[in-house]
Amino acid sequence: MITSKSGNVVVQQHVLDALKQIGLNLYERKLWVALLSKGSASAGELASLAKVPYSRTYDILESLADKGFVIPQNTKPLKYVAISPHEALDRVKKKIQEDAVVNSDRISKFQSSSIMKELDKVFKDGFQVIENGEFTGSLKGRSTIRNQLDSAFRGAKGKIYIMTTSKHISEIADKHRDSLKKAVSKGVKVRVAVPHSKESVEAAEKLKGIADVRFSKGASTGRFCLIDDTHAIIALTDDEQTHPTQDLAIWAQSKQAAGKVLAPMFESMWEDLQ
């Protein structure tokens, strides 16, 4: 909460908390709202009103100016001018879009450069060291897990086995349909085992012609994916009870775990599904 010198409330705490969603840190949020309440003010005035350390104020205001939230005035002492929240957010959104285009072009150029060949060689040489053993990594956050799944699906050569939940199969149908479709076009066999529910039946319809989906009668919170008997991605959390940012999984490159333990288990279970 920010209050004026007279004790009047400038803005409630829930407003400051909400501004975190648009990428502003605590000091940026406080100084921006303080400036909105003043219209125009110096760094010292804003530091006092927002209760932000004066030594940090100029850097933070410069950051806000770079992002498009405030406009510096060429005065002595230096002052800053507020613009309407709608206009500020329009500016910020436009800048993010422009930066995304620039960064995307930069990455595309880098991907076609000779540097990529050198990096690929480093990666392949390094992977040969662990090729005959096991390699595992932890994945935190649903978006990270989703990216790893998508990469695994695109690299599949023979088969993809998925055991999932009624909730998660909807995400697979919505987020991974294209990757699975491309895998199938290369001859990859895709099987999905999921508990029977209205939600899972609807998701299965979206995967029709791509995956062979079979249903179990009981509820399940288990999620794992096998690729070519060599890779496994295993969820460690319940997707119904866990916040997406806290979702955990492990990724293992292991013929023992994927090909000799999980694959036979999946295939045995598969025969009993409908």
106 found inside a domain:
no
Which domain does 22 fall in, by range? 2-91
43 found inside a domain:
yes
115 found inside a domain:
no
98 found inside a domain:
no
Residues 190 and 258 in one domain: yes
How far apart CA 99 and CA 75 sit, in angstroms, is 30
Q: What is the pLDDT of residue 211?
A: 93
Q: Note the pTM of the prediction, 2 decimals.
A: 0.58
| C-beta separation of 65 from 71 below 8 A | yes
| CATH number, domain with residue 40 | 1.10.10.10
Total structural domains within the chain? 2
Domain closes at, from 91, 110, 127: 91
Phi, psi of 239 (to 5 degrees): -70, -15
Residues 263 and 141 in one domain: yes
247 found inside a domain:
yes
Residues 154 and 256 in one domain: yes
Average model confidence (pLDDT) for the chain?
84
| C-beta separation of 199 from 184 below 8 A | no
Q: What is the pLDDT of residue 92?
A: 84
Per-residue pLDDT tens over the stretch 201-230? 999 999 999 999 998 887 676 889 999 988
Give burial (CB, 10 Å; 0-12/13-18/19+) of 115: exposed
Residues 150 and 75 in one domain: no
Residues 166 and 252 in one domain: yes
Residues 81 and 144 in one domain: no
How far apart CA 204 and CA 194 sit, in angstroms, is 9
Residues 79 and 142 in one domain: no
For 106-131, the three-class secondary structure string (H helix, E strand, C coil) is HHHHHHCCHHHHHHHHHHHHHHHHHC
Determine if the peptide bond prior to 77 is cis (ω within 30°).
Answer: yes
152 found inside a domain:
yes
Residue 164 confidence (pLDDT) above 70: yes
